[in-house]
C-alpha cells in the first residue's frame, strides 16, 4: 500500500501524456531513491510531469521494490450545469 501511494504521488501531476499512454518501470530502492527505466517496447523517455517530483519515497524497504507503471490520458465527460430560470425585474 505504501509503494502504491508513492507511485500515485509520482504521477499525480500528469494531466497529459504524449501519445495517450506510457509505460515504464519504477524501482523503489532502500534508502528512499526511485529509479525510472523504460518498459520493454516503450521509447526511452519519461513524461516531464514525472520529473517535476523529487525521485524519492518514504517506504521503509530492506530490498528493491520493482513496479510496472502505466499512465493513460483519459477524458471525462462533463455535463453543463442546468440553466437557472431568468429572473424578471419589474
DSSP string, 45-65: ---HHHHTS-SB-----SS-E
Place of cell 507511485: 7
pLDDT band at 88; cut points 50, 70, 90? low
- pLDDT confidence band for 29 (50 / 70 / 90): very high
- pLDDT tens-digit profile of 33-60? 999 988 888 878 777 788 787 899 999 9
The yes-or-no verdict on residue 18 having pLDDT over 80 is no
CB-based burial, 28-43: b 16+ in 10 Å, e otherwise: bbeeeebeeeeeeebe
Distance CA 56, CA 11 (A): 13
Backbone Cα Rg of the chain:
20
pTM for the model stands at: 0.71
What is the pLDDT at residue 31? 94
- Say if residue 14's pLDDT is above 70: yes
Amino acid at each position: 500500500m505504501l509503494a502504491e501511494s508513492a507511485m500515485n504521488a509520482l504521477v499525480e501531476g500528469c494531466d497529459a501524456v504524449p501519445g495517450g499512454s506510457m509505460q515504464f518501470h519504477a524501482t523503489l530502492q532502500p534508502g528512499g531513491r526511485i529509479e525510472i527505466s523504460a518498459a520493454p517496447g516503450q521509447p526511452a523517455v519519461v513524461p516531464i510531469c514525472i520529473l517535476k517530483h523529487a525521485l524519492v519515497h518514504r517506504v521503509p524497504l530492506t530490498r528493491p521494490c520493482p513496479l510496472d507503471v502505466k499512465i493513460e490520458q483519459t477524458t471525462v465527460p462533463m455535463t453543463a450545469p442546468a440553466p437557472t430560470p431568468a429572473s424578471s425585474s419589474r
